[in-house]
Amino acid sequence: MKAAGNEIRYNLTLGGDLCTGRVEVTREVLTCFEDGEQARVVAFSDVQEFLLRGENGSVSLEYKDAEGHFRILCRSTMEHRNLFAEVVRLLNLYKKNGDFPEDLQVAGTAKCPKCGAKLPRPDSVCMKCVDKKKVFARFVQLALPYKKYLIGSAVFFLLAAAVGLLGPYVSKVLVDHYIRNSEMQALVQSAPGQVAAGFVAVVLSMLGVYLLNEVVNILRNITIMQAAVRISVRLRENVFEKVHSMSLSQISRRTAGELIQRVGQDTQDVQAFIVYEIPNIFGQVLLLLAIAGVMLAYDWRLFLIVILPMPIAIAAMRGFHHKVRKLYGQQWRAGSRAGNVLFDIFSGIRVVKSYGTEDREAERYGSAAGEERQIAVRNEVFWAKVSPFIRFSLTLGTYFLLYYTGKKILGGTMTIGEATMFTSYVSLIYGPIQWLTRIPTALARAVTALVRLFDVLDETPEVADTEAAKDVEIEGTITFDHVSFGYDPTSEVLKDISFEIHPGEMIGLVGHSGVGKSTLINLVMRLYDVTEGEIRIDGTDIRTFSQESLRSQVGAVLQETFLFAGSVYDNLRYAKPTATRDEIIRAAKIAGAHEFICKLPQGYQTRVGEKGQTLSGGERQRIAIARALLRDPKILILDEATASLDTETEKQIQDALQILIQDRTTIAIAHRLSTLRNATRIFVLDKGGLAEVGTHEELLAKKGIYHDLVMAQRSMSRIGGK
Amino acid sequence: MEEKQKKDGLSGIVDVTWLTKDNASFCDDEGFLSMDMGEEHYDRVLLSRCFPFDEPETHISVTDCEMKEIGLIRDLQELSEESREACRTELSRKYFTREILSIEKIKERYGFTHWDVTTASGKKSFSVQDTYRSITKITPDHLLVYDVDGNVYEIMSVDALPRKSYRHLELYL
């Protein structure tokens, strides 16, 4: 009966020691083997439910036995976490529906199918195996609309290289014809005007070459910048739009820093690659080839003399580059740490002052700044000691060249002008060589940035509109049908919840912190999709609604109201950009916000700080209510809308809320249970499930969890009253 | 009472149940930790270190499966020998870390670092994303490294690492 590959691998014993373990899974039993020995056997008939528990650095696959006792099947380090989560889901499905899982081992693995390297998420791209050619092909696609700028800049790079070659040649003419020419003395006597004119012509040619070089460089920089900025801005816009289309759970998997890095730094890296590297591919390579060609044409030995010390110079440059990156990376991080400490102290300056801990904070900053100073001094000493050697290794070829050309000049087979020209070419050749040593790092950096960007751009939104998604007019019936949900595979927040809310009802949602109240309302707004079951509004699965249509009819007033940087007016209009000023004033009046807004120095056009810090908590909440009013939602969500306010302000806000909830389906979360007294029904959540449902009076009479919560709060307020 | 409050200003306000060999015994039961406290038997209890970096064996919170605290262990030394060992086993299960003895290679590729190390339990390779943020300095010398899966690796003393290992690590400190 055992299916091929139907086993679960794990690597810790029950005691927590490392082992080589596997669970053989048949339709009847689960048999654990550790280091080849049978360790335990569990019959499916003895299992009620499988569970997953994550610890710090390990994870365990557990089950509830027939008597309801927790038992452990196997334990593993974290690399098997996703696998275990999927296995638990499949084994529970087997218990429930009898669908026997055929290949457990491949379930939930986050590995690259090609090289086997671990990936942070199952849908991540393996940076090692990603087809770089394809990445660049996509990049070319992206750059194609700007090809005229790219071709233009390539032409200017070629021109710059050609002009660069002219300089040393003009120097040679100057030296050989006018400075070291023995016949020139006689010519100066006989035809001074002719000599002077020739000399001026050569000098003017040098000046002309210099000016031409500068002009070409300016034009080159302008055209390449035009292309680079356009491409990177387009990329940035694409990524930004994509991030917005992701579900909250997809966004939450990445830190804010990571997303900012994607939008900001990675597009910057791509821009840098376009500006500094792509045109160089034409310019620098051509310059290198041209110089090599000129040298070979004159004397192949000369070419060898210049080329032979190159490996030493390249090795020195690469080693130096690596070391410098290491040292300055440390210095940058130390500087950043010191900056963070400073930011931290200034952000919390009120606390610092009130606790009188200025000296302690000064010491903390002093220590961070001291570390930065120490690293900076060490780096500067290193730089001072090593850079002369690097410069020397770079110019090593010149000494060989001097010796060789000197010998040839003395032997009369080379002119001083030619020697000057070669020396100039040698100094020119180091530019492209230096660039070539940098190219692998630049390429790797660009590929990394591009792959990361494409990774975001290619991600399929988890909460996405189906093709048949439709815009609907909501009436307000909300149905939860056996809904389960967990943010993390190791823990289910809501388990098998079913209920129905009728249009116009006001539902109070209560329960201990962390029980899943906010999660439940996030599901109503479809910020996440349910793991199992279905949420229906007016009898239709909300996954068939267009998200825009759903959310435009759901209004939310949360505990903390975020105000964007801008005016009060902008923040109110955020809910309904088409609202007229009359509408906005009316909404603000109902919400009790109009009065305080008028007292602000610039009325509705007063700018509120980055987080609206110039307004009090109560004022911010009033703005939130006005926003919700403007939106005129069919479903209203109040998540601890008055929790952070004082009693008097809370009373005023509650009055405003009473206006807001009229004729709307409302779900309100509140810790202060007295604010839910008027609720049509109260839902009590406990241990992820719906424990009690009823009116305030019914639930009090029931003397269950709600009763205990109310009693606990009453005794708290009595203590507060004393 | 007044005297007690002088000793510890908060002791009169909040009660802490300190678990010692006089009121509690622990037993490792097929991969779980069970506890007896007076008449009460707990099939399964969970341990959490209050100060996991500095105090691995003191100030340990004991909770039931619903994470409701039953009491605190001030010091494992205050338990009986058997209970102490059972608790140590549970703690090593929960806070599973591998100690890094030497670092053979840290290779940086495409935003990840790939580490080849020797741990107390043998050779191990793992990948770290966002390396600088995945290294936690408990002290400047004592580090924790978190890999992409969430496994924890510990470097007890950076100074005690072999010189070559230190050179690999240096860039990320």
| Residues B75-128 pLDDT 10s | 999 999 999 999 999 998 888 899 999 999 998 776 678 899 999 889 999 988
Amino acid A254: pLDDT: 61
Asked if ipTM goes beyond 0.90, one says: no
Any idea where the domains of chain B sit in the sequence?
Answer: 2-94, 97-170
Question: With an 8 Å Cβ cutoff, are B130 and A326 in contact?
Answer: no
Sole residue written with tokens 């008597």: A67
Which stretch of DSSP H or E encloses residue A105? none
Whether residue A687 lies within 8 A of chain B, CB to CB, comes out as yes
The pLDDT assigned to B6 comes to 45
| Interface membership of A15 toward B (CB under 8 Å) | yes
Tokens representing A90?
């499949």
End-to-end CA distance of chain A: 71
B48 interfaces chain A, CB cutoff of 8 Å? no
What integer pLDDT is reported at residue A335 of this predicted model? 83
B94 → closest Cβ in A56, A70, A72? A56
pLDDT for the residue A300? 83
**Over 70: is that where the pLDDT of A500 sits?**
yes
- Tell me the chain B residues in contact with residue A120 when contact means C-beta distances shorter than 8 Å: 129, 148
Q: Is residue A359 over pLDDT 80?
A: yes
pLDDT at B35: 95
Phi, psi at A510, each rounded to 5°: -130, 165
Interatomic CA distance for residues A638 and A619, integer angstroms: 16
- DSSP readout, A621-662? HHHHHHHHHHH--SEEEEESTTTTS-HHHHHHHHHHHHHHHT
Tell whether A57 is within 8 A of chain B (Cβ): yes
B95 and A56 within 8 Å at the Cβ level: the answer is: yes
Residue A560 has pLDDT above 50, yes or no: yes
Torsions phi, psi for A677 (to 5 deg): -55, -35
Question: Under an 8 A CB cutoff, do B94 and A55 touch?
Answer: yes
Do the chains contact at B93 and A75, CB–CB below 8 Å? Answer: yes
pLDDT score, position A722: 43
The pLDDT value recorded for residue B41 is 92
pLDDT of residue A236: 80
| DSSP three-state, residue B6 | helix
At A83, the pLDDT band (50, 70, 90 cuts) reads: confident
Quick one: pLDDT at residue A3?
Answer: 39
**Which domains, ranges and CATH numbers included, belong to chain A?**
7-97 (2.30.29.30), 132-458 (1.20.1560.10), 463-552+677-722 (3.40.50.300)
For residue A192, pLDDT over 90 is answered with no
The pLDDT score that the predictor gives to residue B170 is 84
Is A14 touching B (CB cutoff 8 A)?
yes
Tokens of B72: 């605190």
What is the nearest CA distance from B148 to chain A, expressed in angstroms? Answer: 6
> Which tens digit of pLDDT belongs to each residue from B29-78?
888 899 999 889 998 899 999 888 878 899 999 998 877 899 999 999 99
- Mean residue pLDDT of chain A comes to 80
Give the closest-approach CA distance of B29 to chain A in angstroms.
10
The 10 Å Cβ neighbour count of residue A318 is 14
Q: Which range has the worst mean pLDDT, A85-99, A260-274, A696-710? A: A260-274
Chain B residues close to A444, C-beta within 8 Å: 109-110
Closest CA to B52 of A416, A152, A651, A55: A55
A448 contacts in chain B (CB < 8 Å):
110-111
Mean per-residue pLDDT, A215-240: 82
Spatial distance between the Cα atoms of B110 and A617, rounded to a whole number of angstroms: 45
Per DSSP, chain A holds a count of helices (H) and strands (E) of 24, 19
Is A70 within 8 Å of B43 when comparing Cβ atoms? yes
Secondary structure element (H or E) that encloses residue B112, with its range: strand B112-119
- Enumerate the residues of chain A whose CB falls inside 8 A of the CB of residue B32: 70-72
Contact residues, chain B, for A21 at CB < 8 Å: none
Residue of chain B whose alpha carbon sits nearest to that of A70: B44
Q: Among residues 78-117 of chain B, which lie with CB inside 8 Å of chain A?
A: 89, 92-97, 109-112
Q: What is the pLDDT of residue B5?
A: 41
